[in-house]
Homo-oligomer: A and B are copies of this chain.
Amino acid sequence: MKIAVLPGDGIGTEIVAEAVKVLNALDLSFEMETALVGGAAYDAHGHPLPDATLALAKAADAVLFGAVGDWKYDRLERQFRPEQAILGLRKHLGLFANFRPAICYEQLTHASSLKPELVAGLDILIIRELTGDIYFGQPRGRRTAVDGHFPGAEEAFDTMRYSRPEIERIAHVAFQAARRRNGKVTSVDKANVLETFQFWKDVVTEVHAQYPDVKLDHMYVDNAAMQLVKAPKAFDVVVTGNMFGDILSDEAAMLTGSIGMLPSASLDAHNKGLYEPSHGSAPDIAGQGVANPLATILSAAMMLRYSLQQPEAADRIERAVQAVLSAGLRTGDIWSEGTRKVGTREMGDAVVAAI
Interface positions of A (Cβ within 8 A of B):
78, 81, 83, 87, 94, 113-115, 118, 131-132, 134-138, 140-142, 145, 147-150, 153-166, 190, 192-200, 221-223, 225-230, 243-244, 246-251, 253-255, 259
Q: Tell me how many chains of this kind the complex includes.
A: 2
Pairwise interchain contact A160-B163, C-beta atoms closer than 8 A: no
What's the minimum C-beta distance from A183 to chain B, rounded to whole angstroms? 24
Interface contact B159-A153, CB-CB below 8 Å: no
Contact B254 A194 (CB under 8 A): no
Known: A163-B153, A223-B250, A226-B251. A196 touches B114 (CB 8 A): no
Q: Do residues A195 and B163 form an inter-chain contact, with CB atoms below 8 A?
A: no
Q: Say yes or no: B138 contacts A160, CB within 8 Å.
A: no
* Cβ A195 vs Cβ B229 within 8 A: no
* List of B residues within 8 angstroms of A255 by Cβ: 229
**Which B residues are in CB contact (< 8 Å) with A223?**
250
Measured CB to CB, the nearest residue on chain B to A249 is B222
Verify B159–A160 contact, CB threshold 8 A. Answer: yes
Q: Given A221-B246, A255-B229, are A165 and B192 neighbors across the interface (CB < 8 Å)?
A: no
> Which B residues lie within 8 Å of A166 (CB)?
149-150, 153
Q: Are A164 and B160 in contact (CB under 8 A)?
A: no
Q: Which residues of B contact A137 (CB under 8 A)?
A: 148, 157
> Is A164 a contact of B153 with CB atoms below 8 Å?
yes
* A158 B195 Cβ-Cβ under 8 A: yes
CB nearest to A148 among chain B residues: B163
Q: A113-B115, A148-B163, A163-B148 are known contacts. Are A222 and B198 too (CB-CB below 8 A)?
A: no
Which residues of chain B are within 8 angstroms of A155 by Cβ–Cβ distance?
A: 161-164, 199
Cα(A87)–Cα(B190), bound, Å: 14
User: Is there an interface contact between B163 and A198, defined as CB atoms closer than 8 Å?
Assistant: no
Q: In whole angstroms, what is the CA distance A114 to B197 when docked?
A: 31
Whether the Cβ atoms of A159 and B162 lie closer than 8 Å is: no
Contact of A160 among B78, B134, B149, B226 (CB under 8 A): B134
CA distance A253 to B132 in the complex (A): 30
Residue of B whose beta carbon sits closest to that of A247: B225
